[in-house]
Chains A and B, each alone.
Chain A
């Protein structure tokens, strides 16, 4: 606010206060006219023959008015309100926010701080810690990975024993912390359309799914010259680079013939966003422990 507007606001506010005060005091008495009956003064209102007495208001009513005026004065002295004047208490909404945040941090340190030093395997056996992890998961991870961590199309299932980048506590921690970038390069230009179809048949064969044997044999040659570099000679994948296991019938982008062909032809690229900027270290640790425990939940046949 420029100085002019600041002064404008201050003058208006104070003038209004003064005016209200003056009105209050000027109207606390009326001149007595000689015609009126001192015992039965009325307001002059008559409804159905019922008249209204003009009795004084209680004094505490008047005192309440004054109390509000005093409150206004005290408030404007303590808090910002008069133009650019910041008030004597130095209160700001940002300051209040920072205070609340500091309080929250303190509280988090108290609750989560217990687990900073604890190894993840141990946290995964701690009932209360897992509950916190579950809540953090529900708020931050469930959007993509599903409420149960079971994944979705393009988002890995965290509840099975198949890991793209490894399922050890350290690997999980690194995945959440740093994020991951997974890329399957497009092979269509490299091996041609016939090559794509043959390779897809071989991948189906690897999983024991229904396939064309002749094409799969052709596909095996292509696999041995191109695909093995990442997925390994036996197709079991490579966790160091996040190349998936192609033999376990677990699919990130679907396991139908068309979907596999598309993956080989056009490639896929995917990203797990890094969480270190968004979540506190101790929260990441808790949620990592929760993810670690997910694959050990029980299934109940009913």
Chain B
């Protein structure tokens, strides 16, 4: 264990007693810049995703923001669909799917989510890129931090923090824009007339991004992140994670290029420490698999570039499994992974089916909670219902209501003249269903209330309820 928090001691005033401090700052991690296969994967998957994140709020459909989570109106516009609070179960499904996807991927590839797509890692690496642009690579940064404050240091550090704040602000604006409406947000902020809550959240997310990606960084993964805590449970012997091939690498040691090092009893590892210097969570992968490792592959790229220089075969540090290191073969098809994948596919299928068959109109029927079950008037038996119509479509509609009941019964329906609901409106319509007393033969029978849009007949919802009459 070489990555423990260093302990500091301090002396009492008279030097009698020495004290050990129980709270210590971690050493700052300085990452050496490295290029390679896995870095490229991260770049070419991450940049489009980032571009999407920043660009999506600016998309407009039919004069409104395409993706807009309108909290005050409780409407969640996602492109051509609008979801409401009653679609919460869909969100729950989505989150469960995401959880199972994490389980399946973690079982198969270890913590690749953490290493490649987690915003914590992505933003941290963006911030480190800013450091490199302004202050240079690892050694230069360490020198600069250790050195005295002078004009150059102020300029370089200032540049770093300017870029950090710019990225943080852009992130906060984009994020809040999903909720506030990005065009309004930018215009309101520029005109100093934004809603105080909007201003607060932009400030909050700017600050949080700046502190998090600028200073907390890998400590979030080590101490705070709940997923990091339980992802290790999903690892098994065949999980593909970053391993150092100790059998090939040991005994490590420096050597000249081109000599027969085996004869000197050395392994392939030249002990150059590059794999440690590039590591964003500051571990030495050669100590074996550790809980901090986020499977980001930076040490793989670093080691491969060194192996290339030495003209040794690649893969001294590589994505492999414990099983392969011991037996030479990874067992990919295993019950656990198969089970996760099956459940995941099943749930994705169900989710898609739910979303596709979701009707943008919903009707609830409540029997009138009056003093009596039915009303008798002018030789008619009357039942009163309240039909709560929720128009979740993105256009206003006029609706009609009709009753479908028992064959042979002549129902009379009384309802308001025009039932017109704006997009996203919910309205409760009282209706009265009557049957002639001599016609009614049942004390109780099922009827269906059908709500349908006049101009769009496919918007229809049918609800079962009960018609109650006098005892026979």
Residues of A near any B CB (own CB < 8 A) = 27-32, 38, 41, 53, 55-62, 127, 130-131, 134-135, 138, 142, 146-153, 157, 159, 249-250, 293, 296-302
Residues of A within 8 A of B4 (CB): 53, 55
- A266 and B298 CA atoms in complex are apart in Å by 96
Residues of B within 8 A of A142 (CB): 368, 430
Asked whether any CB of chain A lies closer than 8 Å to the CB of B415, the reply is: yes
Residue of A nearest to B7 (CB): A56
Residue of A nearest to B369 (CB): A147
**Interchain CB contact under 8 A, B418 and A302:** no
Q: Point out the residue from B5, B386, B430 that lies within 8 Å of A55, measured CB to CB.
A: B5
Asked whether any CB of chain A lies closer than 8 Å to the CB of B17, the reply is: yes
Residues of A within 8 A of B1 (CB): 53
Instruction: Report the minimal beta-carbon distance from A33 to chain B, rounded to whole angstroms.
Output: 9
Instruction: Report the minimal beta-carbon distance from A91 to chain B, rounded to whole angstroms.
Output: 16
Q: Point out the residue from B22, B223, B372, B432 that lies within 8 Å of A27, measured CB to CB.
A: B22
- A28 and B22 CA atoms in complex are apart in Å by 5
**Interchain CB contact under 8 A, B432 and A148:** yes
Instruction: Report the minimal beta-carbon distance from A101 to chain B, rounded to whole angstroms.
Output: 19
- A30 and B18 CA atoms in complex are apart in Å by 8
Name the 6 nearest CB pairs between A and B, nearest first.
Answer: A62-B23, A56-B24, A29-B19, A147-B430, A59-B25, A148-B430
Residues of A within 8 A of B412 (CB): 299-302
12 contacts between A and B (CB under 8 A): A29-B20, A56-B21, A60-B219, A127-B420, A134-B430, A146-B370, A146-B375, A148-B384, A152-B375, A153-B371, A159-B432, A300-B415
Size class of B's contact patch?
Answer: 35 or more
Residues of A within 8 A of B410 (CB): 301-302
Instruction: Report the minimal beta-carbon distance from B257 to chain A, rounded to whole angstroms.
Output: 36
Residues of A within 8 A of B7 (CB): 38, 41, 55-56
- A147 and B430 CA atoms in complex are apart in Å by 6
**Interchain CB contact under 8 A, A152 and B20:** no
Instruction: Report the minimal beta-carbon distance from A123 to chain B, rounded to whole angstroms.
Output: 14
Name B364-387 residues within 8 Å CB distance of A: 368, 370-372, 375, 377-378, 382, 384-386
Residues of B within 8 A of A56 (CB): 5, 7, 20-24
Residue of A nearest to B1 (CB): A53
**Interchain CB contact under 8 A, B377 and A157:** yes
- A16 and B382 CA atoms in complex are apart in Å by 68
Residues of B near any A CB (own CB < 8 A) = 1, 4-5, 7, 9-10, 17-26, 216, 219, 223, 368, 370-372, 375, 377-378, 382, 384-386, 402-403, 410-418, 420, 427-432
Known: A29-B10, A32-B9, A297-B415. A147 touches B23 (CB 8 A): no
Q: Point out the residue from B9, B24, B402, B414 that lies within 8 Å of A148, measured CB to CB.
A: B414
- A249 and B403 CA atoms in complex are apart in Å by 28
Q: A29-B19, A138-B430, A150-B384 are in contact. List 9 more A-B contacts (CB 8 A).
A: A56-B24, A57-B22, A59-B24, A60-B216, A147-B370, A152-B370, A296-B417, A298-B417, A301-B412
Known: A152-B372, A300-B412. A147 touches B386 (CB 8 A): yes
- A57 and B418 CA atoms in complex are apart in Å by 68
- A41 and B4 CA atoms in complex are apart in Å by 12
Known: A32-B18, A296-B417, A300-B414. A150 touches B431 (CB 8 A): no
Known: A31-B19, A299-B412. A58 touches B26 (CB 8 A): yes
Residues of B within 8 A of A29 (CB): 10, 19-22
Residues of A within 8 A of B223 (CB): 58
**Interchain CB contact under 8 A, B19 and A30:** yes
- A153 and B372 CA atoms in complex are apart in Å by 9
**Interchain CB contact under 8 A, B418 and A299:** no
**Interchain CB contact under 8 A, A58 and B420:** no
Residues of A within 8 A of B431 (CB): 148
**Interchain CB contact under 8 A, B417 and A150:** no
- A37 and B384 CA atoms in complex are apart in Å by 83
Residues of A within 8 A of B414 (CB): 148, 159, 297-300
Q: Point out the residue from B9, B384, B403, B418 that lies within 8 Å of A127, measured CB to CB.
A: B418
Instruction: Report the minimal beta-carbon distance from A43 to chain B, rounded to whole angstroms.
Output: 12
Residues of A within 8 A of B375 (CB): 146, 150-152
Residues of B within 8 A of A134 (CB): 416, 427-430
Known: A55-B5, A297-B414, A297-B416. A146 touches B368 (CB 8 A): yes
- A147 and B428 CA atoms in complex are apart in Å by 10
